[in-house]
Amino acid sequence: MSALERGAWRAVVSGALLLAACREKPAVSVSITSPSEGDTVPGPAVHITLAVSGIELAPASEQRPGIAHHHLFLDVDPTPPTDTIPAGVTGIIHRGQAQTEFHWDSVPPGPHRIIAVLGDAWHVPLQPMVADTVQFVVTGP
């Protein structure tokens, strides 16, 4: 192979590597679509809807990389990003079947904060943490 051919080959390989490095994965995001920030909703039940982009929602039982499911925190701070999100804790809901809605009963009147966190099949928050927060007010029944 001549010096000219080696130079052309290096340019092709370098260009391919640069192109591969520049390709970005789509950004993963979660959003609480209802209630909206600052909403006033009649209580005591609050209907929550969620949306994601950039990742596949799947039941936690599938236990494979590249999937996620929702976790909701009502008036509770999320667990540390490297800890498993606990089950059976007041104010924390797992949507382990990849559900995108939840009807939260018995939310008392007043201001509230809900945080949606995407977790992997093992209920650990995605890294970096993917979350959305909405503050809203519940009116009396």
pLDDT higher for 24 or 123? 123
Q: Which of 2.60.40.10, 3.30.930.10, 3.40.50.920, 3.30.300.30 would CATH assign to domain 26-139?
A: 2.60.40.10
Q: Identify the burial level of 63 via C-beta atoms within 10 angstroms of its C-beta, where 0-12 means exposed, 13-18 middle and 19 or more buried.
A: exposed
At 71, which helix (H) or strand (E)?
strand 67-74
Question: What's the maximum distance between 2 C-alpha atoms anywhere in the chain?
Answer: 83
pLDDT higher for 35 or 64? 35
Every domain of the chain and the residues it spans: 26-139
pLDDT at position 102 is 97
Output the six-digit token pair for 1.
């192979």
- pLDDT digits 0-9 by tens, 108-141: 999 999 999 999 999 999 999 999 999 999 998 6
CB-based contact 71:117 (threshold 8 Å): yes
Mean pLDDT (the chain) is 87
Cα separation, 133 vs 73, in Å, equals 9
Is pLDDT of 6 > 70?
no
- pLDDT digits 0-9 by tens, 56-100: 999 999 988 899 999 999 999 999 999 999 999 999 999 999 999
Cα separation, 54 vs 133, in Å, equals 18
Is pLDDT of 18 > 60?
no
